[in-house]
Amino acid sequence: MAIYHHQCVLRNRAQMMRDAIRFHDFTFRLPTRKLLFGERALQEVLNDMGKEIQKLEAHNEVESWQRLTRVLTHEIMNATAPIRSISQAYLNDSKIKNSSYAEGIQAIYDTSSGLATFVDSYRKMTQLQEPVPTDVNLAQFSNKLAALYPNITWEINISPKESINIDENLLRQVFINLIKNAIEAEAKKIAIYYNHGTLNISNDGHIIPEDARKEIFIPFFTTKTTGSGIGLSLSRQILMKQGYILSLSDHSRQGYNVTFSIE
């Protein structure tokens, strides 16, 4: 009877993991207690595999968006360049200046120039600088960041000995983007902490809506009325280029609403 019950438990575990993969929830981690040593080893491998699948999925998603962005920016720039050039030439023509056509042509020029500027900003997503990794002391790094935002209440819980090998300037760019987003979400306190190889940053700003959680790393997606939708996507690409993954955690630190993790 005990053997039958144990097999039922294993069957239920298999079903839960199948459902997790089906619904693209790769954060699953099932407990290993009360398992035989061989079953425990298998479960630990499956738990770790979830993280690896998540990384591969994120990597493929980023590559797809990079290819699409390259095509779109190239085509849009090719289309807007002659419009800007021709409209500017007309605006410099003495026959057009102060005529009834000037206002309309100016609107065409301004719109095409604005679109070109808009598209050019997204070229960052396909032209990232090559990282120069060094051993970055995380406690010192976090304290320097906190000093830049004195109006925020900071909770930094990192051992003075903890460090990771990464490009410090690029990591700073990622954190500044996350902090900026938190402040725009009316956060008053931010926590940075490191445990089990994962660097976390939490804030008490507005909760990210459930229907937006899976979309926030997609380029151009934003929940803000004036947002560009590039910050989180660019941050994820910066970290992936160095072997790390930026993700939105399903569980936040007590007293906080949103947590991003780097691992």
Span 76-102, pLDDT tens digits: 777 778 888 888 888 888 888 888 888
- End-to-end CA distance of the chain: give it in Å, rounded: 42
Contact at 8 Å (CB) between 225 and 184? no
| pLDDT for the residue 216 | 81
pLDDT band at 124 (very low <50, low <70, confident <90, very high): low
pTM of the model as a whole: 0.62
* DSSP percent split of the chain into helix, strand, coil, nearest 5: 55, 15, 35
Residue 152 confidence (pLDDT): 94
pLDDT in tens, 236-258: 888 888 888 898 888 888 899 99
pLDDT digits (tens, 9 = 90+) for 128-140: 678 889 999 999 9
pLDDT at 130: 82
Position 66 pLDDT exceeds 70: no
**pLDDT over 70 at 191, yes or no:** yes
Question: Side chain identity at 101, as an amino acid letter?
Answer: Y
Query: In this structure, are residues 55 and 245 in contact, taking their beta carbons and an 8 Å threshold?
Result: yes
Indicate if the pLDDT at residue 60 is higher than 90: no
Consecutive H or E run containing 52: helix 37-91
Instruction: Tell which residue, 239, 216, 242, 241, has the closest CA to residue 229.
Output: 216
Q: Residue 72 and residue 219: Cα distance in Å, rounded? A: 12
Q: What percent of the chain has a predicted confidence (pLDDT) above 70?
A: 79
Please compute the mean of the pLDDT values over residues 172-199 and round it to a whole number: 92
Only one residue has tokens 């390259």, namely 70
Which segment of 50-59, 134-143, 153-162, 200-209 scores lowest on mean pLDDT?
50-59
139 within 8 A of 158, measured Cβ to Cβ? yes
Q: Give the pLDDT of residue 229.
A: 63
Cβ contact 134:105 at 8 Å: no
What average pLDDT does the segment 32-38 reach?
77
What value does the mean pLDDT take over residues 184-212? 91
Q: Do 239 and 262 touch, CB atoms closer than 8 A?
A: yes
